[in-house]
């Protein structure tokens, strides 16, 4: 039977949250898996009226599904169980006390593992009149300072992407990986006295793939303590005659933000430092264009971040059952497919735009996250999250990382993790039949013409959070690694 069950709640508005349910359940042919609970959305404890989970040949025995549920202000903690409806008509309930998901937490997770002393794994065979008292296995993720709730809405599909890039029809997929500038893993002999490891450096790598047949307008940077990502707004190409170049502007922002963070630290929190870096980048940029921007910096046990738009970041933590989501940024959109963005245009074009109000660095949302050695930081453009669901992203990272008996000492090069994610998202982006987060969100906004994957640039920066004993740290101590301006297959190094 399964070893893992997960429920992740993502805030939609004050009245509702979207909850992702996922379970690893081995079933017989023709069996169906449901989530049944106390709300009408979960069938009011009637199995056939509950939320039916889905699986596929490429993802079995994982079953997943999402549903909108009332928030805590409306209802409170919601109790539920997993149920198997057998092909012959039998109903097999999960044993043990009820599970809970709290719909007030921005990213509440209920995770179970079949280890002694851990919350119970899903087991089936109990009668429908089983006890309905809650078994508390909730891990609530705190809201970051910035009045932000975690995560844009996430949905599920029946597809399961391979981590291998392929092409379909006449479309070709170009995958371009940036090599890690730190080539060694955490020192096996460091902290051998058993003392607690303290975060002190990032071991980072990146991968970038341009959209098929198009120019890559994504940019990124990383150093030994900071990283950033930017997505140039391609629609600005219509103003090319005014000297607008979204790719150059995104690259300009990344270089200026990296240099701002390389300056000597003042007595300022990392969340304020990252917001200040975005502001300084906006002021120092000399090119014209529009771009989203995400910047993060590590200071000891705290990761600070500033985000504007629909690019973003995620912090994952290794657990016995795989990577656990600790924190992720919220997408910032004015409307469907209209993200917040920094914009710099020449005066001639600004005058033609009239009184239109532009977003600025003052609009960033700021985050402060407690991190540990062994955590994994991901920064990404929306080409990733528009094409991959969160449960898929976690599974891809788990597959890339593999089994590690000591998660404090990561073995998988971060560039390999970034590449696996980019490959999967790029493959999905050219799949005309895929039910992606982008197409599902489009349907919510009554845009029924947006089918399949979303063709876009895809860029990911992955960074292990390591301790100060990390032997490769000096390699990047005084260097900034940026994506190449001219060739997405290359990176370049600058000095502050």
The angle that helices 390-401 and 414-429 make with each other, rounded to 10 degrees, is 140
- What element of type H or E holds 67? strand 62-70
Helix (H) or strand (E) holding 333: strand 333-335
What is the average pLDDT across 399-413? Answer: 76
Please report the DSSP string for 340-371 in residue order.
--EEE--HHHHHHTTTPPPP-GGG-EEEEEE-
CA distance 140 to 109: 6
Lowest mean pLDDT, pick from 10-24, 45-59, 200-214: 10-24
Mean local confidence (pLDDT), 56-70: 80
Q: Is the pLDDT of residue 156 over 70?
A: no
Quote the Cα angle for 118-403-176, to 5°: 130
pLDDT at 447: 75
pLDDT of residue 110: 38
Q: What is the DSSP track for 25-78?
A: ----TT-EEEEEESSGGGGGG-GGGSEEPB--TTTTTEEEEEEEEE-TTTS-SE
To which residue do tokens 């509950």 refer? Answer: 50
Confidence of residue 71 (pLDDT cuts 50, 70, 90): low
**For residue 20, which of 135, 76, 91, 103 has the smallest C-alpha distance?**
103
Q: How far is CA 64 from CA 5, 35, 204, 271, 282, in A?
A: 10, 10, 31, 34, 41
Instruction: Write out pLDDT tens, residues 429-438.
Output: 999 988 898 8
Counting DSSP H helices and E strands in the chain, the numbers are 7, 27
Asked if residues 202 and 465 have their Cβ atoms less than 8 Å apart, the reply is yes
Q: Which residues face 319 on adjacent strands?
A: 322
Longest C-alpha distance within the chain, in Å? 73
pLDDT at 406: 62
**Mean per-residue pLDDT for 333-341?**
90
Contacts of residue 446, defined as CB under 8 A and 6 or more positions apart, other chains included, come to: none
Question: What six digits make up the tokens of 19?
Answer: 């909850």
Q: What's the mean pLDDT when you consider all of the chain?
A: 76
State residue 245's pLDDT score. 92
Euclidean distance between CA atoms 83 and 5, whole angstroms? 12
3 state DSSP class of 458 = strand
- pLDDT over 60 at 123, yes or no: no
Which residues does 351 contact at the CB level (< 8 Å), separation at least 6?
Answer: none
3-state secondary structure of 392: helix
236-269 pLDDT, tens digit per residue, is 777 787 889 999 999 999 999 999 999 888 789 9
Residue 384: which of 444, 424, 328 has the closest Cα?
Answer: 424
- pLDDT of res. 15: 59
Question: Is a pLDDT exceeding 90 seen at residue 366?
Answer: yes
What is the DSSP secondary structure assignment for residue 47, as one 8-state letter? G
Least confidently predicted of 211-215, 245-249, 446-450: 446-450
pTM across the whole model: 0.66
Considering only residues 17 and 151, tell me which one the structure prediction assigns the higher pLDDT: 17
d(CA 390, CA 8): 10
55-59, 225-229, 462-466: which range is least confident on average?
Answer: 55-59
pLDDT at 470: 53
Higher pLDDT, 150 or 14: 14
Lowest mean pLDDT among 256-260, 283-287, 357-361, 380-384: 357-361
């Amino acid at each position: 039977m399964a070893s893992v069950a997960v429920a992740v709640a993502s805030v939609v508005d004050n009245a509702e949250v979207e909850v992702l349910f996922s379970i690893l359940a081995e079933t017989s042919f023709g069996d169906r898996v449901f989530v049944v609970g106390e709300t009408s959305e979960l069938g009011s404890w009637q199995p056939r009226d509950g939320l039916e989970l889905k699986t596929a040949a490429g993802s079995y025995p994982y079953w997943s599904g999402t549903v909108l549920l009332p928030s805590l202000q409306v209802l409170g903690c919601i109790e539920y169980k997993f149920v198997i409806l057998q092909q012959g008509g039998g109903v097999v309930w999960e044993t043990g006390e009820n599970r809970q998901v709290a719909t007030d937490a921005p990213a509440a997770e209920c995770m179970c593992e079949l280890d002694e002393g851990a919350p119970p794994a899903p087991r089936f065979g109990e009668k429908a009149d089983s006890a309905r008292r809650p078994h508390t296995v909730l891990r609530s993720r705190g809201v970051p300072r910035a009045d932000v709730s975690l995560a844009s809405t996430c949905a599920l599909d029946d597809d399961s992407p391979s981590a291998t890039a392929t092409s379909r029809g006449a479309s070709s997929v170009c995958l371009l990986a940036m090599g890690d500038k730190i080539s060694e893993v955490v020192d096996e002999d460091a902290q051998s006295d058993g003392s607690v490891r303290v975060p002190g450096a990032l071991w980072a790598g990146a991968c970038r793939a341009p959209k098929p047949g198009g120019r890559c307008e994504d940019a990124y940077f990383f150093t030994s303590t900071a990283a950033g990502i930017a997505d140039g707004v391609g629609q600005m190409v219509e103003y090319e005659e005014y000297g607008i170049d979204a790719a150059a502007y995104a690259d300009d922002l990344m270089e200026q933000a990296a240099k701002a963070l390389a300056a000597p630290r003042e007595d300022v929190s990392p969340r304020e430092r990252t917001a200040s870096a975005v502001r300084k980048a906006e002021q120092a940029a000399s090119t014209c264009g529009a771009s989203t921007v995400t910047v993060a910096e590590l200071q000891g046990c705290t990761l600070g971040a500033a985000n504007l738009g629909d690019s973003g970041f995620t912090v994952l933590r290794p657990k016995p059952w795989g990577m656990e989501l600790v924190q992720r940024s919220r997408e910032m959109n004015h409307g469907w497919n209209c993200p917040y963005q920094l914009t710099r245009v020449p005066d001639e074009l600004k005058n033609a735009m009239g009184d239109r109000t532009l977003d600025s660095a003052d609009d960033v949302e700021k985050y402060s996250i407690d991190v540990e050695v062994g955590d994994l930081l991901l920064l990404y453009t929306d080409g990733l999250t528009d094409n991959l669901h969160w449960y898929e992203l976690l599974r891809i990272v788990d597959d890339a990382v593999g089994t590690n008996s000591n998660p404090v000492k990561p073995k998988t090069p971060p560039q390999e993790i970034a590449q696996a994610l980019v490959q999967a998202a790029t493959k999905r982006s050219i799949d005309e039949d895929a039910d992606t987060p982008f197409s599902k969100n489009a349907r919510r906004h009554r845009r029924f013409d947006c089918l399949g994957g979303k063709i876009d640039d895809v860029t990911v920066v992955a960074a292990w959070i390591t301790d100060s004993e990390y032997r490769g740290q000096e390699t990047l101590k005084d260097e900034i690694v940026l994506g190449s301006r001219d060739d997405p297959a290359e990176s370049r190094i600058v000095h502050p």
